Amino acid sequence: MPPGLDALKHIVVLMMENRSFDHMLGSLKAVNPQIDGVDGTQWNPDTQGNQVFVQPLAQFQGQLDPDPDHAFPAVDQQIFNGDQSSPRVASMQGFVANYFQQQQDVAHSQKIMYYFTQNQLPVLTSLATNFAVFNRWFASIPGPTLCNRAFAHYGTSFGQVGMSVFYPHGKSIYERLQDAGHTAKLYYFDQQSSSLEVVNLLQHQPQLFATYDQFLADCKSGKLSDYSFIEPNYSDHDSDDGESLASDQHPDHNVQAGELYIASVYNAIQANPTLWASTALLVVYDEHGGIFDHVPPPACTPDGYSAGPAATGLNYTFNFDRLGVRVPAILISPWIPKGTVVGTDRVFEHASIPNTVTNQFIGPYPVATPREQAAQTFLDLLSLPAMRTDSVVFNT
Amino acid sequence: MTDAAPEPGQPKQHKRGTASKAAPVERGDVTFIQVPIPPRSAFNRDRPAGLLLQAQVKHIHHAESARLPKEKRDGRSPEDIHTEAEAAAYIAKVTKLLHPQRRKRSKPKPAGNTGT
């Protein structure tokens, strides 16, 4: 076993909200051509037939308002540009046309093609270039937040392609670990933000939860669980400490607040040398939020469910046999070679998370869905024979 | 298992809109990167609650109805909640009942909280 895997005691996942790979990390293609980002040649047609090229003009806030549609029918249009034939090609040409529908404003619809420069996102891009960035990590479903986040917790969304995911059955990764004598914790930001996606667990298994304050304390004291899942702050609200700014990066929340949050999670782990040596941190986004990405989502192993026309809002049944749009994903550990770019031949999705965690701490788990069992695991990226001594520290 | 960290560990609190951009600074093997902070105008508690928060409110309401006795329930329905601040207040009220915990004064929070 590689020494990095031998040393590994903790896996931490931070899942952010609604930004595509090209939007957040596409600029890094100029830094390293192995990173499958944008080079200015990618485009979409607008509703007047003009070519709208990607441009480095993304703003931290105020630009993607209203929130781009990312319900199942909208994402279908973004990927297939309205083509309803069978078979059809994922052209990734329908983003501008889809965003136009919300305001009927051609100029505004073009903003869906904007991406951030490297300098605008020093945290995310530094982590991507210093550790491992995934060229092919996709949302699990071409749809919205909750069904996608379900894959991170359960390896399936139980046939749901929307926001009404109430998890009628199935064992979450946290319960699996608990049953096997391991420890797991879900850290929500504060009580005003709470848990977004697994209220069912909050309702029935509150012992699995803690606040972000507790995460910081657990990192400092070295009492982190085997597996931790961190939720950002989902709203602007007042708290005992004053104004609390949403850090989830969901449009139209401020992207810089999310950068600070990612930095604080990273710093908390990195500041404890023992924890740093024994922890892998995955920063990943739940779905693309309706924002342009140029990579067609691939097919995947179905998980045995199907969603009919009433659920998809389209005239076909979705068999969970292809993935959603590509999202940013970065794996961080001192056992990863600097500048690792995970190649286009390896496809990951959110079911990779429970599959990786289960394999690492429990072993074979045959009751997981076929989809989860087929999902790639990522801990082999901790491949160095000795731990790196260089590091990045964020001044926040 | 305890792997306690040496002091100091956490980033300091900062004021929104007061940091300056700075190039990465390398000291030995460590690269220090300054993280810009959002302007004060980024905060808007009166922003209409988006679909995501609306869905969260529905899930919290579902849990409240299933778990809490009538006398402990907030009484509001998801349709009564319109802004982010209203959603946060309702979510906090129910979360406190579902997941009671002692409030402890911690060190100032980093990103995502006051002063980000």
Q: Which residue is closest to B12 within chain A, CA to CA? A: A396
Amino acid found at A356: T
The structure's pTM equals 0.93
Q: Which helix (H) or strand (E) holds A229?
A: strand A227-230
Does residue A261 belong to the interface with chain B, where contact is any CB pair within 8 Å? yes
Say how many residues make up chain B: 116
With a pLDDT cut of 70, the percent of chain A lying above it is 99
Q: Could A242 and B111 be called an inter-chain contact, meaning their C-beta atoms sit closer than 8 Å?
A: no
Residue A326, beta-bridge partner list: A138
- pLDDT score of A384: 98
Helices (H), chain B: 51-67, 84-98
Q: How far is CA A195 from the centre of its chain?
A: 16
> pLDDT-derived band of residue B25, with 50, 70 and 90 as boundaries?
confident
- pLDDT score of B23: 74
Residue A381, CA distances (Å) to A26, A45, A264, A327, B30 in order: 22, 38, 23, 19, 22
Higher-pLDDT residue of A303 and B112 is A303
Structure tokens at B13: 């609190």
Question: A227-230 and A10-16: which strand pairing?
Answer: parallel
Query: Which letter does DSSP use for residue A114 in this model?
Result: B
Q: How far is CA B115 from the centre of its chain?
A: 12
Q: Could B35 and A396 be called an inter-chain contact, meaning their C-beta atoms sit closer than 8 Å?
A: yes
Are A362 and A182 contacting, i.e. CB atoms less than 8 angstroms apart?
yes
* Residue B16 to residue A257: CA distance in whole angstroms: 10
pLDDT at A170 over 90: no
- pLDDT score of A346: 98
- pLDDT score of A345: 97
Helices (H), chain A: 3-7, 21-25, 72-80, 95-103, 106-109, 122-130, 145-154, 173-179, 199-204, 212-221, 255-270, 273-277, 309-312, 352-361, 370-374
Mean local confidence (pLDDT), A264-274: 97
* Residue A167 to residue A44: CA distance in whole angstroms: 37
Give contacts of A223 with chain B, Cβ < 8 Å. Answer: 1-3
Q: Could A212 and B109 be called an inter-chain contact, meaning their C-beta atoms sit closer than 8 Å?
A: yes
pLDDT at A339 over 60: yes
Q: Which residue is closest to B88 within chain A, CA to CA? A: A192
Q: Which helix (H) or strand (E) holds A217?
A: helix A212-221
Q: Could A261 and B85 be called an inter-chain contact, meaning their C-beta atoms sit closer than 8 Å?
A: no
- pLDDT score of A197: 80
Q: How many other CB atoms are found less than 10 A from the CB of residue A342?
A: 22
Are A302 and A368 contacting, i.e. CB atoms less than 8 angstroms apart?
no
Mean local confidence (pLDDT), B43-71: 93
pLDDT at A167 over 80: no
In tens, the pLDDT along B9-19 reads: 333 333 344 44
With a pLDDT cut of 70, the percent of chain B lying above it is 68
Are A144 and A137 contacting, i.e. CB atoms less than 8 angstroms apart?
no
- pLDDT score of B14: 37
- pLDDT score of B21: 53
In tens, the pLDDT along A177-198 reads: 999 999 999 999 999 999 998 8
Q: Could A191 and B91 be called an inter-chain contact, meaning their C-beta atoms sit closer than 8 Å?
A: yes
- pLDDT score of B28: 73
Q: Could B110 and A263 be called an inter-chain contact, meaning their C-beta atoms sit closer than 8 Å?
A: yes
Mean local confidence (pLDDT), A134-140: 98
How many contacts, defined by CB atoms under 8 Å, are there between A and B? 254
In tens, the pLDDT along A208-260 reads: 999 999 999 999 999 999 999 999 999 999 998 899 999 999 999 999 999 99
Query: Which letter does DSSP use for residue A162 in this model?
Result: S
pLDDT at B92 over 50: yes
Mean local confidence (pLDDT), A353-377: 96
In tens, the pLDDT along A142-161 reads: 999 999 999 999 999 999 99
Mean local confidence (pLDDT), B38-44: 97
- pLDDT score of B27: 72
Give contacts of A189 with chain B, Cβ < 8 Å. Answer: 112
Fold adopted by A3-40+117-381: Alkaline Phosphatase, subunit A (3.40.720)
pLDDT at A309 over 60: yes
> pLDDT-derived band of residue B102, with 50, 70 and 90 as boundaries?
low
> pLDDT-derived band of residue A12, with 50, 70 and 90 as boundaries?
very high
Question: A51-53 and A43-45: which strand pairing?
Answer: antiparallel
- pLDDT score of B22: 60
* Residue A200 to residue A204: CA distance in whole angstroms: 6
Give contacts of A65 with chain B, Cβ < 8 Å. Answer: none
- pLDDT score of B17: 46
The tally of CA atoms less than 13 A away on the side-chain side of residue A224 is 32
**A346: distance to nearest CA of chain B, Å?**
30
Are B90 and B81 contacting, i.e. CB atoms less than 8 angstroms apart?
yes
In tens, the pLDDT along A16-49 reads: 999 999 999 999 999 999 999 999 999 999 999 9
pLDDT at B114 over 90: no
Structure tokens at A250: 């969901």
Q: Where are the domains of chain A?
A: 3-40+117-381
Helices (H), A30-183: 72-80, 95-103, 106-109, 122-130, 145-154, 173-179
pLDDT at A60 over 90: yes
Of the candidates A230, A266, A260, A263, the one whose C-alpha atom is nearest the C-alpha of residue A244 is A260
- pLDDT score of B3: 56
Phi and psi torsions of A132, nearest 5°: -115, 125
Are B9 and A272 contacting, i.e. CB atoms less than 8 angstroms apart?
yes
* Residue B85 to residue B98: CA distance in whole angstroms: 20
